Amino acid sequence: MIVKMNKKGDGGDVMMFFAFLFLIIIILTGLWLGIFAFFGDGYDFRRAEAEIMADKISNCFGEKGISKLLEGSFTEQLKRECGFNDNIEKERLVYLRNLEDETERFAGVLDYKNQCFFEGAERNRNYPVCVKFEFSNGEERFEVITGSKANERRRAA
């Protein structure tokens, strides 16, 4: 666009166009921020799911006995004995540590054991949330950490 400048100050009109565009951007941003502030950033289910996993696992330990779960692959035993499906390995963690001999077993993403306890992990949905509890079978004590970073995803429906 060729703008003819003359001594009557047409340049000011051209500059106002950019001010107008800036105003439009500010209004649209404000609209988006208002909607975000009102409706929030969704439903954070990470802690609830970590607690559900902890609950299921402690029930399973009690019913089946922890030594049965330590035979062979821990992940496969969780699926077979505790009624979990393949999703236990995706964006989740089940971590078991024997407090007597320090042996470890896990299913899922092991690094969640560290990420859970980062500063601000609870507020940031890109980090997992974990629940920790201890379990004893009378002979040995175990530390169990269950964590979840699972988030919803858009699907074709």
Partner 1 sequence: MNKRAESSDLLQWTVIYVVIFLVFFAGAYFIIDRNFDNAGFWEEFYAKEIARVINFAESGDVVMLDVTRATRIAAKNGKNAGNADEVFKFDEEAGEVIISLRQSGGTGYSYLSDKKIESYRVELVSGEINKDRLILVIK
State in angstroms the smallest separation of the CB of 101 from partner 1.
Answer: 29
Comparison of 28 and 110: residue with beta carbon closer to partner 1 = 28
State in angstroms the smallest separation of the CB of 119 from partner 1.
Answer: 26
Comparison of 126 and 157: residue with beta carbon closer to partner 1 = 157
Distance CA(101)–CA(152), nearest Å, equals 38
Comparison of 28 and 99: residue with beta carbon closer to partner 1 = 28
**Complete DSSP assignment for 15-61:** HHHHHHHHHHHHHHHHHHHHHHHHHTT----HHHHHHHHHHHHHHHH
Comparison of 122 and 140: residue with beta carbon closer to partner 1 = 122
State in angstroms the smallest separation of the CB of 142 from partner 1.
Answer: 20
Rounded to 10°, the helix 46-64/74-82 angle is 80
Beta-strand relationship, 104-108 and 92-98: antiparallel
Alpha carbon distances (Å) from 4 to 10, 11, 20, 34, 89: 8, 9, 20, 41, 66
Residue position matching structure tokens 């980062």 = 118
**Residues forming the site for partner 1 (CB under 8 A):** 4, 10, 13, 17, 20-21, 24, 27-28, 31-32, 35, 39-40, 42-43, 45, 48-49, 52-53, 56, 79, 83-88, 90, 92, 150, 152-157
State in angstroms the smallest separation of the CB of 100 from partner 1.
Answer: 29
